[in-house]
Amino acid sequence: MLNLAFGWIWITAGFLSGAMLGMGFHKENFMGGYGSWKRRLARLGHIAFFGTGFLNVMVGLSGLMLSESQMSGGMWYAMSWSFVIGALAMPICCFIAAKWIKVKSIFVLPVIALTAGGVMMSLIAASEIYGRMLS
């Protein structure tokens, strides 16, 4: 249930960040203009709230369909937190990189966390399907 609640909070953060950014978007030179690095990364950070929030909602809903044995294991716990950490890190990294282009390598943290979460969720889902096929 962590991911389900977190996902909806993060989607709401997407609405709020969009509202904040939208206050200046009507100005042609806002944050250096439409094609500037700062403005592109700020838009990406805003969208990252929605994308990673949606991923967390999907993880939470997927958990409702899994057997108790799948959800009680350590892999479920690690996968769940990987998606939360990745979701926390992605928009933060976008906004930091928008301000300081030299630190763009910080994106390795959300990418690794989200990829690890995706791999673990794939393994959990495959194990669930295989288990149901055998029974």
pLDDT at 17: 94
* 111/117 Cα distance (integer angstroms): 10
* 92/104 Cα distance (integer angstroms): 11
What pTM did the predictor assign?
Answer: 0.89
At CA 79, angle to CA 77 and CA 80, rounded to 5? Answer: 65
| Domain interval for residue 130 | 2-134
* pLDDT tens profile 8-40: 999 999 999 999 888 887 777 887 787 888 888
Residues 6+ apart with CB under 8 A from 113: 82, 83, 85, 86, 89
Nearest CA to 56 out of 5, 16, 107 is that of: 5
How many domains does the chain divide into?
1
* pLDDT tens profile 82-116: 999 999 999 999 999 999 989 989 999 999 999 99
